[in-house]
Copies of this chain bind each other. A is one copy, B any other.
């Protein structure tokens, strides 16, 4: 929700649905840039604000929205009632700033709906076991909406600043096509690959509770995308292409071929909480192996420190770090039934004359790590070839 006029538009949309005969529950996020403004204000007073207090602060953004929307509906002649996350018992676990919804108490909501009120609920927020206010992280209002639709057993429509789910990010590939429908499996793969239109947790919840989730523009009245179970776009082997620039690659040459050495190294990495993504190992040459792996950029310092210790112990090992890489992943449940998708994908990439540095796959995904300068060419070629 943005300005006053945006709130009024949201109110009109809700009223239109209500007039179609639905009982309405609206989950709202903060107005416009207010969350960013609150964050900036906090950093002015404390560069490392305590996360509990940050949640206390940020939760006010949605509390402003719900009361304003409720007032707008009242002004338009409709009876509305707003609730904060804590007021409807949105119980969360986990850390402040990225809490996870565990339970919702529907008593007040159901009562208000029975009284023919439009129910407005603050997204993004909940309350933990200490009755402290928590927030769910960026995009958490989507998760609140999906979680509420699961417990209330009703359809969920998300109106947001994107107008649906695209096969490729239109900023990278302007002719990108909007998907009419996409499966939860594909959305989960894409979300974890950094194509984050939707909060990952929202997708997980919707998938778990088998909810139908419709995502459309909050501004333009055009069709959006339906996220549901097992629904492939007809005949297409590939539904989406995700581009992730948040990883870097480490190559270690001439590592002793000794399971104790490699396992000690990766144990050290895991011990620091680093999630290694891709990994590859060459076959043995002269009693030595080459190992490559990729990890999230935010773990760069941690990984580098471990590598330095490793180099001291094994001076013969040649370590190189490459941050100028990008991970290109094609995703599609069509892959399960259609053959030749991988070979087609590799052919497209190799036709562009750049090295494929690493490869990983899942049942419905193939990811390739390539040099960053090749990104644009590769995206164009893949999106064209798979009609994305």
Contact = CB atoms under 8 A, between A and B. Distances in A.
Which of A4, A44, A47, A67 neighbours the largest number of chain B CB atoms within 10 Å of its CB? A67
Contact of A53 (B50, B54, B70): B70
Interface string A69-95: 011101100001110101100000000
A56 to B, nearest CB: 4
A66 B74 CA distance: 30
Contacts of A56: 63, 66-67, 70, 82, 84
Contact of A71 (B49, B60, B84, B133): B49
Given A75-B45, A87-B131, A131-B87, A68 B64 contact: no
Contacts of A16: none
A8 interface: yes
Interface residues of A, number: 40
Contacts of A165: none
Contact of A57 (B64, B74, B81): B64
16 contacts: A8-B45, A42-B71, A45-B68, A45-B71, A45-B75, A52-B81, A53-B70, A53-B80, A54-B71, A56-B66, A57-B63, A57-B68, A57-B71, A60-B63, A63-B63, A87-B132
Interface of A: 4, 7-8, 38, 41-42, 44-50, 52-54, 56-57, 59-60, 63-64, 66-68, 70-72, 74-75, 80-82, 84, 86-87, 108, 131-133
